[in-house]
Structure 1
Amino acid sequence: MKLPWLGFVALVLTAAVGCSSTPTADPAPSAPPPTTSSTPSNTPSASTTSPPPASSPPSATPAAPANPVSLQAQIAKKYDGRDLRLGRVITRTDAYTRYFVTYASGKLRISGILNVPTTPGRHPALVLNHGFIDPAVYTNGRGLMREQDYLARRGYVVLHTDYRNHAQSSKDPQNDVNLRIGYTDDVINAVLALKASPYVDPQRVGLFGRSMGGGITYNALVAQPGLVKAAVVYASVSSNAVENFNRWTRPDTRTAAAVIRAHGEPAKNPAFWRNMSAVNFFDRITEPLLIQQGLADSTCPPVWAQQTYAALKKAGKDATLYTYPGEEHAFAAAWPTSMARTVAFLKKQGV
């Protein structure tokens, strides 16, 4: 189902704490998926008309706090993503070469993979933001393998970031207590490092985020408007940090206790949690955003995508939502269609 309006649209716990445990450990969704038709409509369903209940109006950016763990701190930060280094060749295909890479993110060095098309010249490019995979088992470039190949074969330079604490990346011991806000830094710096690559047209760079990576994508868009030309999210976590915390982190009592000690319960320190929720900063977004969501998703409730879409539209943003009946968190039968729509959207936006 497509819900287009005149305009258009990867935790933190907005972005990065979502999906912080395996899907089998997820509690039941906080709200049932809405009933949705596969027939395109020009009018959103009633269930898409309200933003997440714990959020303040998305058009009003909250006053900046002193807390360095906040989206305001991400907004004020100076980013200097740089020094993208190509390492060993992992694979050569008929369409692209796959490299191990690292780049600078503040004081850290982040690993990843880079797919570079074999055609000459500068190319459009995408930074891919993967969903949660336990760092203890994560390996370089893991996640989004289908997407990495598909997009590189269609002429995109693809930088898949591992994030801090993953694979060969530098360690950040405060990452989990600080709601993984550092992943947002890593993605913003990945874009800046990629733009300096001789393989890339710096005017044609986008973001692609899935699950937890969808939430990270929302954070990057509100922190650095104008960083990219467009963004795509799949099966994203909530844009409301409280919903993500309650769904994934609270059942992990040890991690939840550390977060609460550092930042307070949502009910007792609502300002902190508002300031970690991208939905409260949607007025800052300047890029078109495409959201794709399976309606049988048992990991990230479909209502989250619809609430985020409604909040973006309320803020007057250029957002589009496609829903897919019967599709779970990892798309199956509809995946080719969803990827064709992704490439069509990106090309329309000049990426």
Structure 2
Amino acid sequence: MAKEYDGRRLRLGAEVYTTSTQRQYEVTYRGGGLTISGRIAIPEGKGPFPAIVLAHGYIDPAYYVNGQGMTREREWFANNGYIALHVDYRNHAGSDDTALAERGVGEADMRMGYTEDVVNAVLALRAWDGPVDDDRMAVGGRSMGGGVVYNVLVAQPGLVDAGVVWAPVSSDAVDNYDRWIGSDPTRSDIVAALRRSHGLPKDDPEFWEGISARTYFDQISEPVLIHHGTLDDTCPIRWSRETARLMERDGVDVTLTEYPGEGHAFGPQFFASMERTGRFLARHVR
């Protein structure tokens, strides 16, 4: 919340995908002293176009490739008249590595760095001289990226016009720690780094409350749309039900849409979720 952000210098790289309705390019931009890579989808036409910045879910950075994780969403948005900027995050693809990642504990900042990268992506897109409408912008994220979107909305209220998440992680940092870090013996290095730097949840609950988006839901000024499948065995739907309840309590304009029988990846009902997203953004990104 207290940081100053300087996202800038969005540059198009190689053209990687072309259809009759859109073109996609590799991109880089600068922010927070880092170069971050990504991929952008631009509709055919004159513009200016509304835009959405996309935050992908967890993929091991050792295997991640540029633009991976939200390919369907990126193409759908460009086909429907939105510029879609997919952020690779630091330590992914062509982005700069950070010191923590070089020591093998890149998740010890609880992915707050990814939040910074998405905020800077919005600013870089807004400063770009391409066909983007600076006044019509949203953020969207899947799974881990949904948590990044929550962080962006609470840390920088007013930055965008709306937020959309699919199958998001919990808005409580302790839930996410317990689910993917504390219970995983292969991540003992991250546990040790967190213990040294901050203390574990049982040792310093105040710190963990302080890095949980739900602590600051009363800061959110944008409408939020949450998509979640009832059979999600990666991010249980109870997390989104509790997030929506707490957002409503704090006065957020939030809509939770549940998809009976749908799992984490949104297979059969993916396009239904996108159509709802399109209607939601048509109301709020204008």
User: What CA deviation, in whole Å up to 9, does each residue of 1:167-205 have, x standing for no partner?
Assistant: 000001224222221001000000001112221101100
Tell me the residue number matched to 1:59: none
Match 1:318 to one of 247, 253, 272: 253
Flag structure 2 segments of 5+ consecutive residues without an equivalent. 101-105
Question: TM-score with structure 2 length normalisation?
Answer: 0.95
Question: The residue matched to 1:76 in structure 2 has which SS?
Answer: coil
Calculate percent identity across the aligned residue pairs: 49
Q: Which aligned pairs between 1:225-240 and structure 2 lie closer than 5 A? A: 225-240=157-172
Maintained 8 Å contact 2:138/2:285: no
User: What CA deviation, in whole Å up to 9, does each residue of 1:124-178 have, x standing for no partner?
Assistant: 0000100000000000000111111111100100100000000000001224222
Q: Distance in 2 between matches of 1:130 and 1:120?
A: 28
AA aligned opposite 2:46: P
Q: Distance in 2 between matches of 1:92 and 1:331?
A: 25
Is it true that 1:210 corresponds to 2:136 in the alignment?
no
Is it true that 1:187 corresponds to 2:118 in the alignment?
yes
User: What CA deviation, in whole Å up to 9, does each residue of 1:85-110 have, x standing for no partner?
Assistant: 01111122111111110001210000
Q: Distance in 1 between matches of 2:157 and 2:111?
A: 20
Higher helix share: 2
Superposed CA RMSD in Å reads: 0.9
Q: Distance in 1 between matches of 2:41 and 2:62?
A: 25
Q: Give the structure, 1 or 2, with the largest relative contact order (CA under 8 Å, sep 6 or more).
A: 1
Moved over 3 A (4+): none
Question: The residue matched to 1:340 in structure 2 has which SS?
Answer: helix
Flag structure 1 segments of 5+ consecutive residues without an equivalent. 1-74
Tell me the residue number matched to 1:248: 180
AA aligned opposite 1:238: S
Match 1:144 to one of 70, 74, 92: 70
Question: TM-score with structure 1 length normalisation?
Answer: 0.78
Match 2:222 to one of 251, 270, 287: 287
Tell me the residue number matched to 1:111: 37
Q: Distance in 1 between matches of 2:269 and 2:66?
A: 27
Q: Distance in 1 between matches of 2:26 and 2:47?
A: 21
Question: The residue matched to 2:208 in structure 1 has which SS?
Answer: helix
Maintained 8 Å contact 2:91/2:97: yes
User: What CA deviation, in whole Å up to 9, does each residue of 1:283-338 have, x standing for no partner?
Assistant: 10000000010000000010000000000000011000100111000011111111
Shift of the alpha carbon at 1:237? Answer: 0.3
Higher strand share: 2
User: What CA deviation, in whole Å up to 9, does each residue of 1:252-289 have, x standing for no partner?
Assistant: 22221221221101111111101110000001000000
Q: Distance in 1 between matches of 2:27 and 2:269?
A: 31
Q: Which aligned pairs between 1:141-180 and structure 2 lie closer than 5 A? A: 141-174=67-100, 175-180=106-111
